[in-house]
Every structure is written in structure tokens, then in C-alpha cells.
Amino acid sequence: MTDIALGVASFPVLLLLIFLRVPIGLAMFLVGLAGYYYLTGGMKLSFSILKSHTYSEFSSYSLSIVPMFLLMGHFATLGGMSTALFKAAEAFLGHRRGGVAMSAVGACAGFGAICGSSLATAATMGQVALPELRRYGYSGGFSTATLAAGGTLGILIPPSVILVIYATLTEQNIAKLFLAAFIPGILAAIGYMITISIYVHLHPKAAGVRPPVPMRARFKALSAVWPVLMVFLTVIGGINFGVFSPTEGAAVGAAGTGLIALFSGGLSWGTLGNSFLATGRNTAMIFFIIFGASFYNAFLARSGAPQALSDYIGNSGFSPWLILTIILVLYLVFGCIMDSLSMILLTIPIFWPIISTLDFGLNSTEELAIWFGIIVLIVVEVGLITPPVGMNLFVINSMDRKTPIADTYRAVVYFVASDMVRVVLLVAFPGITLFFLRVMA
């Protein structure tokens, strides 16, 4: 077997291990180690690569942003920010048909602005909004599907852990990726609210109605979200205007949310220790997946398979748009069997060299990388709510044991359709994603 054939053959083996429920970080490491051993003919060189890659990956300054954003999300929850966001949105939208569900989506978008994790956003807002949805007569499947879809805004609206990883893999500017994600993030929230309106029109019994809130109470609820706005503007504004680096911004955000949690009474020695422990566990999980992906990608590079694939596609005469479409369809398929971080780490080293050689009529390679990154992020986001895996679906359903997962699957199809419309729109009109970058250039 040639080196290139070995690299190609390793992919179905990796998918088989994932299907057999081997942790994906471990699966990528084992396949990469076995492949590297086969190519080099000795374990000594394989372990030498293991040592060098472990150091080079984990000593990366860019990755230090990950635990800071995760910690910021934990402190934000302790500070009651998630509840304040939901109550403010509910005060203005809750009296409409489907309004409590729309409020949950709006609160997810707001919480996503101070939390870079989709699963954390889904879990946190599920605890806050799910009881209210059930209280006002929203059906179980519609409620869980809404919160699962809303949770995906956690990785799309900056700051985003996935965008940090993508920026590291493609050597792009994190601040510019954050800036480019704004309009797609807003479109996502608006699209989900329109989807909710359509759903309750087609299924009137799926949503109840709550009484209107007096205008004075509305503005009182709105005033309670100022800490979220302050943290968001400080972190994202500081990063975009060069006041501090993304890592420094994440540290400032974590410190700011920590102080808010302290003054609100949610932070104690016990909750502080739990926050650090949860952050450490989540960071370790992410870093282990990065470690496995690094070793597997080193093996692929050694085999020459990605370069051979890039050369083949480049010389095939296929339209760049057809190639992009195939790649996005593959992401949808992968989303049914693996989580978002794993998809990014596994595929970007293969797909980005291909995309970077194609002409989509953009002004620079940087614009191409940013546009492609946002599109990939959205498609990966769809994978979080796509059956049969759909990590967000399981997170929310675990909070509502009375709702069959099949009911959630049926309702979430509407939100997946909204995502598909958004993907088509952003692919057809790259200027939407790149608008702020071009204005501020």
C-alpha cells in the first residue's frame, strides 16, 4: 500500500472507531500513531513526534484563550446573567404567540456574547427557560428543539471557542473572525424567531400565551442586563480596537464576570472552586481532542494524502462552487456522528488547503479564509441539532425526561431548514459576512 493510499484508508478506519464509541481524541491519536509507525517503520520516531507535537500544540499562546472564555461563561451563570437576559427578552416578547420561545432564542444570543460554548449556552438557558416554556403551555418537543437550536448561537456569536480553534489552524486573525461572525449571528437569531412564528402558525396548540408585562416592568427587566452589555463591549470592543489581545480580552472578561458574580452574591469559595474544576475538565477535554487531531494530522501530512487530494481537485476542472458544496454536504454528514470541535480539528487541515487554491472572486486569501470559516462554523452548528447525534438535542432532552427525543427531532427540522436558508444566503453573497471587515479596513 502506498503512503497516499494509507492516508486515505485511515479515514474510514477512524470513522469506524468513532462509530464504535471510542472517544474521538483517542481514536485520532491511535490511528495517527499506527499510521506513523507504518510509514516510518519504527516506534522511536513516532514517540519523538509525539513529544514534539504535544509541546508545540499546548504551548501555543492562542489556545490560552479557551479556558478563559469557558471560565467567563461559568462566572456569567453564577452572576445571574442568563436569568436576567431571559427575563428582559420575555418582558418584551413573551405576550406574543410563540413569544416565550422567541425570548429564549434572544437570551441564548445574549448569553452567547459572553460564553463561547454551544453546549454551555444550551444547558444554561435550558435551566432558565424550560420551566417557563412548560408553564405557559409550550409542547415538550417544540420547547426542547427551540432551546437546542438557540444554544447553537453560543459558538456563532463572538466570542467563540470554535472560531479560536479555526483561527489557530488556518493562522488567521481571531479579532477579524469575531467581527465577521456578527452579522451571521444576528441573522441566525432572527431566522430562528421567524421559524418559531411559522411553527406556531402551523401548530397553534404547541404554544400558549402569557399576559403582557407593564411597560415600567419591561424597562426594569431591561436595566438588569447592563452587566452583559458592559462585559461584551469591553471584551469584543477592546479586542477589535486593539486595546488588548484576544487572550488578554478573555482574561479581562473572566475577571469582569467574576466580579459581577461576586457582587451579586453568586460567587463563594465553593462555587469558585466548582467553576475552576468545571473549566479544567472542559479544557482538558478540548485539549485532548486537539492533541489527538494534531497527531492524526501529522500522520496525514506525512502520507501526502491531503496534498494529493488538493492537487487532484485543483486539476479536475470542477467548479469552485461545486467543490464548496460537496465540502459543506460532507460537514452535514459528519455532524450526524461527531461533535463540532472534532469536525473542525479533523477536516480543516484537509479542506482548507483545497479551498485556498480556488477562486471565489474575493479580494484576498484572508477574506477567503474568514468567509470559509464562518460558513463552516454555521454548518458545524447545524450538526449540533441534526439527528441522530445532535449534541444539543441530548443536552436539552436530558433536562426534560418527559419529552420523547422523537418529538424533539420532529420540531428541530424547522430550525435546520432555517439554517440551510442562511447557509445558502451567506454562500451566495460573501459580502454579508465580510461587510464589517471591509468597512473597517
- For residue 186, CA distances in Å to 57, 88, 119 come to 33, 18, 19
- pLDDT value for 1: 66
Q: pLDDT per residue over 187-200, tens digit each?
A: 999 999 999 999 99
Residue entry with cell 478573555: 250
DSSP 286-306: HHHHHHHHHHHHHHHHHHTHH
- pLDDT value for 430: 94
- pLDDT value for 45: 63
- Give the whole-angstrom CA distance, residue 239 versus residue 178: 9
* Secondary structure E strands in 77-208: none
Total-model pTM: 0.87
**Which grid cell is 403?**
419529552
The domain segmentation of the chain, as residue ranges, is 1-59+280-303, 96-212+304-439
DSSP 301-324: HHHTHHHHHHHHHHTTT--HHHHH
Pinpoint the alpha helices (H) of 335-397: 340-355, 365-383, 391-397
- Give the whole-angstrom CA distance, residue 69 versus residue 84: 20
- Give the whole-angstrom CA distance, residue 276 versus residue 290: 21
Distance of CA 423 to the CA centre of its chain: 15
Report residues of the chain scoring pLDDT below 50: none
Q: What is the dihedral of CA 164, 225, 185, 291, to 10 degrees?
A: 20
- pLDDT value for 138: 92
